[in-house]
């Protein structure tokens, strides 16, 4: 891996100090780094790229932040461009961003030596059909929530899987979750926690 896309939660505590260590560390190892606009602004770095351009430039993503930051990066990737993501927890929970800032450099050293395993995660492809228009949404790693809007009302939802009718729910909404997303809204609503694979 010679090209790293680096995306951070811009106002994460300790971000500036971590980037001031990480960027020279990567440079010493001849790793080209591509920062998005917000990450570059956090350290007043002059060279930056639009987030949407980073998947084509990077062999690896390093995400500094929390689970929300990591989820935003997964939406950049489509099925054709599989870029491994190293999530570094600078938030509070860190279900998805498992690496701590203290482990970052030792983990990166192993990754650069080819000593790592990736874990494929299921994602959902969604679209919304509204008044005859099909609005394609990005791939999602966590979940899709269907509800009536700001004012909760009972909906009648017919559920099909691969054109096979499953059931009809009467509820104020429905959460369709991946195994990864089972620790998010699904768990909060009383759903089961599933192993990510």
Given the residues 38, 59, 67, 120, the one annotated as active site: 67
Q: What is the pLDDT of residue 111?
A: 95
Q: So where are the chain's domains?
A: 3-113, 124-189
| Residue 86, C-beta contacts closer than 8 angstroms, at least 6 positions apart | 60, 61, 62, 63, 99, 107, 108, 111
Buried b (16+ CB within 10 A) or exposed e, 31-42: bebbbbeebbeb
Please indicate whether residue 67 is annotated as part of the active site.
Answer: yes
The CATH T-level fold of domain 124-189 is: Tumour Suppressor Smad4 (2.60.200)
Per-residue pLDDT of the chain (197 residues; tens, 9 = 90+): 899 999 999 889 999 999 999 999 999 999 999 999 999 999 999 899 999 999 999 999 999 998 889 988 998 887 677 889 999 999 777 778 889 999 999 999 999 999 999 988 888 888 888 888 988 777 888 898 888 777 778 889 888 888 999 999 999 888 889 998 888 888 888 888 888 88
Longest dimension (CA), the chain: 59
Class of domain 3-113: alpha beta
């Amino acid at each position: 891996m010679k090209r790293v896309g680096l995306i951070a939660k811009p106002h994460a505590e300790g971000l500036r100090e971590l980037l001031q260590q990480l960027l020279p560390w990567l440079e010493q190892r001849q790793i080209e780094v591509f920062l998005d606009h917000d990450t570059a602004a956090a350290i007043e770095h002059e060279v930056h790229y639009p987030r949407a351009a980073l998947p084509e430039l990077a062999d690896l993503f390093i995400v500094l932040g929390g689970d929300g930051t990591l989820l935003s990066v997964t939406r950049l990737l489509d099925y054709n461009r599989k870029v491994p993501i190293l999530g570094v927890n600078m938030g509070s929970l860190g279900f998805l961003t498992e690496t701590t800032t203290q482990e970052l450099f030792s983990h990166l050293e192993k990754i650069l030596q080819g000593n790592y395993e990736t874990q494929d995660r299921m994602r959902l492809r969604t679209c919304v059909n509204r008044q005859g228009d099909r609005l394609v949404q990005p791939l999602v790693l966590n979940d899709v929530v269907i509800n009536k809007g700001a004012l909760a009302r009972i909906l009648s939802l017919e559920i099909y899987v691969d054109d096979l009718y499953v059931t009809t729910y009467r509820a104020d909404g429905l959460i369709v979750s991946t195994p990864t997303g089972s620790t998010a809204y699904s768990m909060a609503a009383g759903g089961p926690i599933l192993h990510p694979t």
